[in-house]
Amino acid sequence: MTNATQYFAADSARIDLIVVKDMVAANTRVLDIGCGDGTLLRMLAEERGVDARGMELSQRGVNDCVAKGLSVIQGDADTDLADYPDDSFDYVILSQTLQATRNPRRVLEQMLRIGKRAIVSFPNFGHWRIRLQIMFAGRMPITENLPLAWYETPNIHFCTIRDFVSLVDEVDGQIERAVALDPSGAPMRVNAPWWIWNLFGEQAVFLLERRA
């Protein structure tokens, strides 16, 4: 888990933050895990009146956030979520970071425990361009949004949209909303079937809650 923005192209990729922001109700309490330089925290605080807290692994990111007056701690999604009591937050957000955690399943479980809702965004490894690169080049894919080679990427646990949907089911979560973004960052047709999303969605954003 690092400052996500440095691993993703700056222009199109962070549109997912807008999608995430729009899923958060006003005047709620939010924890953003892997908050990077605090862009989302700021948007949430300023535009939604949210009590926004952040956790970030990189020291530089934390220092920048705190100097900007954001409430951020240095911490690791894999180890530091266990301290929080149940239902500490209305939303726990993990944007473009799940694939960089050591134990994504455990992280997702913790998110659904300490948050009433969880919002997760991640790059879809099932996108057709990635499938084509593996199929025809026989190499680990390098794309605009995933620009680093396999040996230097912090992303150690890639998944497809379908993979994620089944993980949600395994950890007793349920999907309240889901949005796939095409390579231009535009949300895809809501009623498209899963296989379309899994093939053409470059990123996905999920709003989750515990299964009742």
Q: Which of 23, 73, 140, 142 binds other proteins (CB under 8 A)?
A: 73
Q: Which two tokens stand for residue 112?
A: 């659904």
DSSP annotation of 145 reads S
**Considering only 84-92, 102-110, 174-182, 183-191, which stretch makes contact with other proteins by CB under 8 A?**
84-92
Contact status: 75 vs other proteins (CB under 8 A): yes
Q: Which of 7, 8, 89, 200 binds other proteins (CB under 8 A)?
A: 89
**Considering only 60-68, 100-108, 165-173, 204-212, which stretch makes contact with other proteins by CB under 8 A?**
60-68
Contact status: 91 vs other proteins (CB under 8 A): no
> Residue 52 Cβ, how far from other proteins at the closest point, in Å?
10
Given the complex with other proteins, which of 109 and 202 has the nearer CB atom? 109
**Considering only 19-27, 57-65, 103-111, 128-136, which stretch makes contact with other proteins by CB under 8 A?**
57-65
> Which position has the token pair 């992280």?
107
Contact status: 166 vs other proteins (CB under 8 A): no
The amino acid that residue 166 corresponds to is S
Spatial distance between the Cα atoms of 194 and 199, rounded to a whole number of angstroms: 9
> Residue 29 Cβ, how far from other proteins at the closest point, in Å?
8
CA distances to 30, 89, 90, 109, 159 from 117, in Å: 10, 8, 6, 11, 21
Given the complex with other proteins, which of 54 and 173 has the nearer CB atom? 54
DSSP class per residue in 99-134:
GGSS-HHHHHHHHHHHEEEEEEEEEBTT-HHHHHII
CA distances to 63, 134, 156, 188 from 140, in Å: 34, 6, 12, 26
**Considering only 7-15, 81-89, 155-163, 198-206, which stretch makes contact with other proteins by CB under 8 A?**
81-89
Spatial distance between the Cα atoms of 180 and 198, rounded to a whole number of angstroms: 8
Contact status: 17 vs other proteins (CB under 8 A): no
> Residue 66 Cβ, how far from other proteins at the closest point, in Å?
5
